[in-house]
């Protein structure tokens, strides 16, 4: 059974690459589209994760610090970052939030 699954996975990867979806074979537009899909997926997962952190009543400072680090790491759009900031606690005073100053107090 595991041999069949391994063979299926190998065949699946081979098919994906043969259909010009391998990164090295993609056009610039295809790469940009893939990067945007990845950012949007990460945004959705991060917002869900932050919601869970809030639900479990983690310290606001920890949530804000985590949010800012993840946003920077994932290179999210400014709009996405602002949405995440609005749904979660602000960064405590004295800490930087990125390029823009937060309107939260």
Question: What pLDDT sits at residue 96?
Answer: 53
User: Please, what is the Cα angle at 37 between 70 and 13, to 5 degrees?
Assistant: 110
Q: Output 49 or 21, whichever has higher pLDDT.
A: 49
- Averaged pLDDT score across all residues of the chain: 78
> 23-45, pLDDT tens digit by residue?
678 898 999 999 999 999 999 99
Q: Output 11 or 104, whichever has higher pLDDT.
A: 11
User: Please, what is the Cα angle at 75 between 35 and 16, to 5 degrees?
Assistant: 20
Q: How far is CA 88 from CA 47, 50, 56, 83, in A?
A: 9, 7, 13, 9
pTM assigned to the model = 0.63
Q: Model confidence at 22, in pLDDT bands (50, 70, 90)?
A: confident
What is the 8-class DSSP label of residue 104?
Answer: -
Report the C-alpha gap between 23 and 53 in whole angstroms: 34
Question: What pLDDT sits at residue 3?
Answer: 57
Asked whether the predicted pLDDT for residue 99 surpasses 70, the reply is no
Token pair of 98 as six digits: 């990125």
* 104 and 85 Cβ atoms separated by less than 8 Å: yes
Give, for 52, the enclosing helix (H) or strand (E). Answer: helix 28-55
Question: What pLDDT sits at residue 55?
Answer: 94
Question: What pLDDT sits at residue 88?
Answer: 82
Report the C-alpha gap between 25 and 23 in whole angstroms: 5
């Amino acid at each position: 059974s595991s041999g069949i699954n391994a063979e299926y996975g190998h065949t699946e990867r081979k098919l994906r690459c043969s259909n010009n979806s391998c990164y090295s074979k993609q056009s610039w537009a295809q790469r940009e589209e893939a990067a945007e899909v990845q950012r949007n997926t990460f945004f959705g997962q991060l917002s869900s994760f932050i919601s869970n952190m809030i639900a479990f009543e983690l310290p606001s400072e920890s949530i804000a610090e985590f949010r800012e680090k993840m946003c920077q790491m994932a290179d999210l759009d400014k709009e996405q970052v602002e949405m995440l900031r609005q749904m979660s606690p602000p960064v405590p005073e004295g800490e930087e939030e990125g390029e823009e100053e937060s309107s939260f107090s």
